[in-house]
Amino acid sequence: MIEVYPISNSGIATAITRLRAGDLVAFPTETVYGLGADATNASAVAQIFKAKQRPEFNPLISHVASPDAAFELGTETPIATSLADAFWPGPLTLILERKAQCPVSLLATAGLDKIGLRVPAHKGAQLLLRKFCKPLAAPSANPSGQISPSTADHVIDGLGGNVGFVLDGGPCESGLESTIIDCTGQKACLLRPGGITREAVAIALSEAGLDPTITINKPLNSMTNPISPGQLTSHYAPRATLRVAAEKWQRGEEMIGFGKIHGAGKLRLNLSPSGNLIEAAANLFSMLHAADATTTEKIAIAPIPNTGLGEAINDRLRRAAAPRPDFGNNTFQSIR
């Protein structure tokens, strides 16, 4: 049975009891829902990989309540300090060198010597982290490779009996996962575009007197050793096929519009009739879920401009539309 609690004193207290017992707790953040476990408890972290059927090479972000807590786990660099000052708490994940005394389980960081850290701003996530007093390892709370959840219902529909406890904080505000920046090199390196735009990152670096150049990791086609597996070519995939940059509806499609290009099919969805990219980002995953739930075999989506948050939206759409990998035995292990 899945227990669903609102964000309340008793909801948070029960969530903490579950986490201390090594169980999983799905919780809201301002980006998407996370599937959380005590990051210092390897068998709790193992449950995450099992519940999501996530490949074990794919490291998890550790969530903490404050920048100070983050820099206890990963080594601060000038790039990291400037971005933490500008965007934490918020939809930003920093990749830092793992400190020698870092208590996060090696399974959570997939054996890498770097750790992904995030300080979420969501009130419920903050309450949970402050009360738990330990890092929470949490990927998006969806089966691996599928659409990220922006409501508690998406979590329950996707993971079903694989998650016992969900804290329901209503729909997520941003709906796009965090921007991931590797801060360990001479220049900031964008591993995944997300809720904070590349332009905003460059401004923050430059205001801190640092080099505002942002290098970009080339997307990798390999399933076996991606630098940031959010870069897998096929990811965020709905069950139906997806046609992107669609100007016109084609027969049999559930078409999601944007701006002046209308939605069509059963639901006639539109990411943002006014062409607002923030609204479109917030609606993206819910509308993909809703279109998929009509049991259509084909989803189409109108063109999205590639500026600002559009970069992250188009990144997700490209991966959602990519040919699906063959999840054969060699590339997709589950923990028993």
Interface residues toward ligand TXA, by CB under 6 A:
29, 31-32, 34, 58-61, 91, 93, 95, 109, 112, 114-116, 118, 138-140, 177-178, 180, 191, 227-230
With CB under 5 to 8 Å by kind, the binding choice for 235 among ligand TXA, Mg ion, none is: none
Do the strands 25-27 and 34-38 form a parallel or antiparallel pair, or are they unpaired? antiparallel
**Phi/psi of residue 284, each to 5°?**
-55, -60
Whichever of 33 and 258 has its CB closer to Mg ion, that residue is 33
- Ranked by CB distance to ligand TXA, the top (closest) residue is 230
With CB under 5 to 8 Å by kind, the binding choice for 175 among ligand TXA, Mg ion, none is: none
- Ranked by CB distance to Mg ion, the top (closest) residue is 140
Do the beta carbons of residue 7 and residue 123 sit within 8 Å? Answer: yes
Whichever of 60 and 121 has its CB closer to Mg ion, that residue is 60
| Closest by CA position to 223, among listed 110, 334, 324 | 324
Instruction: For the sheet with 179-182, list strands across it.
Output: 3-6, 165-168, 25-27, 34-38, 136-137, 61-63, 114-118, 92-97, 179-182, 188-192, 214-216
Query: Minimum CB separation from ligand TXA for residue 326, in Å?
Result: 20
Residue 140 as a binder of Mg ion (CB under 5 A): the answer is yes
String of DSSP letters for 127-142: HHHHHH-S-EE--BSS
d(CA 149, CA 34): 8
**Max CA-CA distance within the chain?**
58
What is the per-residue burial (b if ≥16 Cβ within 10 Å, else e) of 321-330? Answer: bbeebeeeee
Any residues with CB less than 8 A from the CB of 229 and at least 6 apart, and which?
55, 57, 58, 59
Residue 179 as a binder of Mg ion (CB under 5 A): the answer is no
Residue 150 as a binder of Mg ion (CB under 5 A): the answer is no
Query: Minimum CB separation from ligand TXA for residue 200, in Å?
Result: 16
Query: Minimum CB separation from Mg ion for residue 52, in Å?
Result: 8
With CB under 5 to 8 Å by kind, the binding choice for 32 among Mg ion, ligand TXA, none is: ligand TXA
Whichever of 227 and 290 has its CB closer to ligand TXA, that residue is 227
Query: Minimum CB separation from Mg ion for residue 191, in Å?
Result: 13
d(CA 201, CA 195): 11
Which among 136-144, 248-256, 288-296, 320-328 is the span making contact with Mg ion, rule CB under 5 A?
A: 136-144
Query: Minimum CB separation from ligand TXA for residue 229, in Å?
Result: 4
Task: Write down how long the chain is.
Answer: 336
Query: Minimum CB separation from ligand TXA for residue 126, in Å?
Result: 13
Whichever of 117 and 264 has its CB closer to ligand TXA, that residue is 117
Question: Tell me, what amino acid is at 70?
Answer: A
Do the beta carbons of residue 177 and residue 320 sit within 8 Å? Answer: no
With CB under 5 to 8 Å by kind, the binding choice for 55 among ligand TXA, Mg ion, none is: none
Query: Minimum CB separation from Mg ion for residue 235, in Å?
Result: 7
Q: Which residues bind Mg ion (CB under 5 A)?
A: 140
